[in-house]
Amino acid sequence: MEKVAPYYHRYMNLVKEKDILTQLKKSINETLALLSTISEEESLFAYAPGKWTMKEVVGHMIDAEQIFAYRTLRVARKDKHNLASFEENDYVRVAHFNDIKWTDLLHQFKLLREYNLALFATFNDEDLQQEGMANGHVTNVKGLLYIMAGHELHHVNVIRERYLKKEERLN
């Protein structure tokens, strides 16, 4: 059973694949295929004032994946410290994602996922069920992997629905 804070159930519910590593392998290819159709100019689009650009969304996805992966490593290694939360808007505000080339962001996301998949492949069943604390909630490694996968799916859905259909909203 995957253990996560209730807030993350919305992400986990997006994951349909039973084998979480298969999901993470499959989704990165699908995500990069979609994002690679977006031009440098289009990547600076924000669907409303005060909303993130697509570059900022992808940068946030990269930051979040790094944090989720760090949490999986600490929990898998039986670290019992409560792992702190992070404020995503603060991270995006200071990260300067809009100054990074779109193709470089996509490459970074691809490399990060490849590294994470190599790490996660080393986790055995005991590691996957290992429990720890994140944001004051009991969690386990497998749950964190589902959060990672669902978080990606959530933001890809947002990109499809709010960023890539901008022409439809303007008419």
pLDDT score for 171: 34
pLDDT score for 128: 96
| Alpha-carbon span 38 to 40, nearest angstrom | 7
| Alpha-carbon span 55 to 52, nearest angstrom | 8
pLDDT score for 25: 97
Count CB-CB contacts under 10 A for residue 168: 7
| Alpha-carbon span 129 to 106, nearest angstrom | 31
Going by CATH, does the domain composed of 6-39+51-165 fall within 1.20.120.450? yes
Biggest CA–CA distance in the chain, Å, is 54
| Alpha-carbon span 76 to 69, nearest angstrom | 10
| Alpha-carbon span 166 to 147, nearest angstrom | 28
pLDDT score for 102: 98
- What residues does each domain of the chain span? 6-39+51-165
Reading the block at residue 43, the tokens are 């990547």
Per-residue pLDDT of the chain (171 residues; tens, 9 = 90+): 688 888 899 999 999 999 999 999 999 999 999 999 999 999 999 999 999 999 999 999 999 999 999 999 999 999 999 999 999 999 999 999 999 999 999 999 999 999 999 999 999 999 999 999 999 999 999 999 999 999 999 999 999 999 997 544 333
3-state secondary structure 127-143: HHHCEEEECCEEEEHHH
